[in-house]
Amino acid sequence: MGQDTATIVEMGLRDGLQNEPTPVPAALRAEWFNALADSGLNRIEAGSFVSPKWVPQMADTDQVLAQIRRREGLSVEVLVPNSKGLNGALQAGADVVSVFTAASESFNQRNINCSIAESIERFRPVVEQAKTAGKKVRAYISCVVGCPYEGRIEPGQVAMVSEQLIALGADEVSLGDTIGVARPREIHALLDAILPSFPVSQLGLHCHDTRGQAIANIYASLERGIRTFDSAVAGLGGCPYAKGATGNVAT
């Protein structure tokens, strides 16, 4: 399989909490972050800098970052939708900023109210500013295998979006099986389409466990050289625009 180590990107504090009905106070989220870091995790997404009007669970992410313990080798990561969110992330001292789009036009319209092409253009100033500030940029692509509105997504479509994000300046692309419909053969087909375009080291996999296939899909991607995997403590997560989808694969 090549490398004998893998990297976990812990999502519980952001993807895990963003749809919970009761917001968790910033101080408790900071304690949670510290406990995750103490367990040995080196990449932790601490939250997102989005409007608290739309995602109240992510309010006060700046306060979370102000209260966490930093250490060498620990990457503090956050999601940002635009330049305003990026400015908040930079002021709070995030190490990695993430942007997000989808491989499905319908999902993108419902999730962030724009087309895929429009979302990528919106990211351009965000990525440029982040790189100027010396930050790494991660890009999420939702619905890389299936969409709750469009059904099956063609691997070639995912490859095209991935290539555009890398060309934009993203250091890493996380491929998200948002509704958890993938099986190993779909993962192989997806990687067949994507891997000829850029190094496997720039790819990560984000699995949801709706059909109990997350671990099998991770193993399939390990066979293809993927070494970065998103997960959430206790399998937290879901998606308000993908009804029936269960949480992330558990850390």
Q: Give the catalytic positions in this structure.
A: 239
Phi, psi of 146 (to 5 degrees): -145, 155
The set of residues, in sequence order, having a beta carbon less than 8 Å from that of 2 and lying 6+ positions away, is 225, 227
Helices (H), ranges, the chain: 26-38, 61-67, 83-92, 105-112, 116-132, 155-168, 184-194, 214-223
Contact 207, 214 (CB under 8 A): yes
Among 145, 137, 139, residue whose Cα is nearest residue 193: 145
Q: How far apart are CA 14 and CA 236, in angstroms?
A: 10
Rg (CA), the chain: 17
Q: Which two tokens stand for residue 17?
A: 């909490």
Among 136, 141, 98, residue whose Cα is nearest residue 116: 141
Q: How far apart are CA 196 and CA 179, in angstroms?
A: 26
Q: How far apart are CA 135 and CA 90, in angstroms?
A: 9
Q: Which two tokens stand for residue 155?
A: 């691997």
What separation in angstroms does the CA of 206 have from each of 121, 200, 237? 23, 15, 12
Q: Which two tokens stand for residue 150?
A: 């469009």
